[in-house]
Amino acid sequence: MFRRVLPFVLVVVGFVATATPIAQSKRAAAAPAAPAGVSVERLGRIDTLVQKYVDQQRIAGAVTLVMKKGTPVHFKAYGMADREQQVPMKTDTIFRIASMSKAVTSVAIMMLVDNGDILLSDPVSKFIPAFAKTTVAVVPDPSVSAGGRVGAVAAKRAITIRDLLTHTAGISYGGGALEAEYKAAGFDSWYFASMKEPLATVINRLATLPFDAQPGERYVYGYNTDILGRVVEVVSGLSLDEFFRRRIFEPLKMADSHFFLPREKAARLATVYGVKGDGTVERMPDRLRVGQGEYVDGPRMCFSGGAGLLSTASDYGRLLQMLLNGGQLDGARILSPAAVAAMTSNQVGSLYLNGQVGFGLGFEIVEHVGRAGRLTAVGAYGWGSAYYSTYVVSPGDDMIAVFFSQTIPAMGLDVQDKFKSLAFQALEEPARR
């Protein structure tokens, strides 16, 4: 597995000789000596943390990966990928990564910018004419008019590629006052795997709905990156899955990253669990967006650039290492350093989280350690997943931290935030500023 998807992980292969087969299946053994500046002993606190949550049945299992200076210094699996079938979690287990798909689509868009095919300032209607005349919802003030109908006004300006990358286009996932209208149009949150029509049809229909805010005025998280996925298709002449496979996954040797899982890999797909009222997890139902989903036996027609991918921790680590390296990995140049710099710079002022952290072209970004309240260095960026996975890339620390789980809903869980803190507390040298 490592030879196919993560060649440099060979340095960490070799289980502790005294470990029993049961212990090895429960979680992989520790990596050998880490590069200068990180404590293997302090990284061991991650083991204690994650195993405690598994033992308390607060998560079924997880995979954690920490990379320092391009080398994995911690790469482990804990618990079960499927408790009912007694399938242990492994480091090559495949996960639904939901919104962590957004990073891949953002990379694809910036590849098109690098190639001179598009500009960040281009209106999206240049590539998807249905967006030429968009509208913005006008929601009645309930204190003035109870039960009033939602109206719509014309957008003040065109939505641009940059608006979509920064989630400032005003486009949500259709909740609140717009929920009924969006559901009637076939939009049920972020989940596209069950759709029986191509992405082009879905995105054209989305363009007819009213949006939540005027372009550029607010940060509104929603279908923005799915629209960008359709832009990739139009500009490249390839379906989104083909573009990802040919232009990103194959060059980066991400052999286990897919929109829909090849059936021969189905046994490696982790089961989805959800947190119950008592804080423990139970298996979620089949074929629901908050359950197992239709990633193996579904229609395989609609490719969600915003939330549709499946991947492994090692595959995703290669994508992040490419970004940390300024756009290249193992001789494969995916992006220019200038493109990566733009992606990882705050583009929205204080629109995102009131300036606590910034937001770039696809990532949230730490601009001030005190405001962010995190242990990463200034310039760290990352995002997360509805299935309770997350990642952080910290260029100042030359470090990547990845946490993969399959837990939705994840009410009350704090293990991923604690994991990130424990990853960075293991550093023994000051960050580059």
Residue 273 has a pLDDT of 98
Q: State how far the alpha carbon of 42 is from the alpha carbons of 48, 73, 280, 305, 419, in Å.
A: 11, 11, 28, 37, 12
Q: How many other C-beta atoms lie within 10 A of the C-beta of residue 17?
A: 6
Residue 146, pLDDT above cutoff 60? no
The b-or-e profile of 174-202 (16+ CB within 10 A means b, else e) is beebbeeebeeeebebbbbbbbeebbeeb
How many whole angstroms from its chain centre is CA 178? 25
Domain residue extents for the chain: 98-259+303-318
The percent of residues above 70 in pLDDT, for the chain, comes to 90
Query: 429: pLDDT confidence band, cut at 50, 70 and 90?
Result: confident
3-state SS, residue 59: coil
Residue 290 has a pLDDT of 76
Ramachandran region, residue 336 (left: φ > 0; alpha: ψ -120 to 50; beta: rest) = beta
pLDDT tens sequence across 232-265? 999 999 999 999 999 999 999 999 999 999 999 9
Enter the DSSP assignment of 109.
H
Average pLDDT of the residues in 211-240: 98
Where does 98-259+303-318 sit in CATH, by number? 3.40.710.10
Residue 46, pLDDT above cutoff 90? yes
Residue 31, pLDDT above cutoff 60? no
Residue 413, pLDDT above cutoff 80? yes
Query: 7: pLDDT confidence band, cut at 50, 70 and 90?
Result: very low
Average pLDDT of the residues in 119-148: 85
Lowest mean pLDDT among 22-36, 197-211, 360-374: 22-36
Residue 317, pLDDT above cutoff 50? yes
Residue 140 has a pLDDT of 76
pLDDT tens sequence across 343-392? 999 999 999 999 999 999 999 999 999 999 999 999 999 999 999 999 99
Q: What is the overall mean pLDDT for the chain?
A: 91
Residue 306 has a pLDDT of 98
The percent of residues above 90 in pLDDT, for the chain, comes to 83
Residue 326, pLDDT above cutoff 90? yes
Residue 150 has a pLDDT of 84
Residue 188 has a pLDDT of 84
pLDDT tens sequence across 79-97? 999 999 999 999 999 999 9
The rounded distance, in Å, linking the Cα atoms of 184 and 192 is: 15
Residue 172, pLDDT above cutoff 90? yes
Residue 35 has a pLDDT of 67
Query: 430: pLDDT confidence band, cut at 50, 70 and 90?
Result: confident
The rounded distance, in Å, linking the Cα atoms of 204 and 195 is: 14
Residue 36 has a pLDDT of 73
- Of 142, 139, 133, 141, nearest in space to 152 by CA: 139
Residue 192, pLDDT above cutoff 60? yes
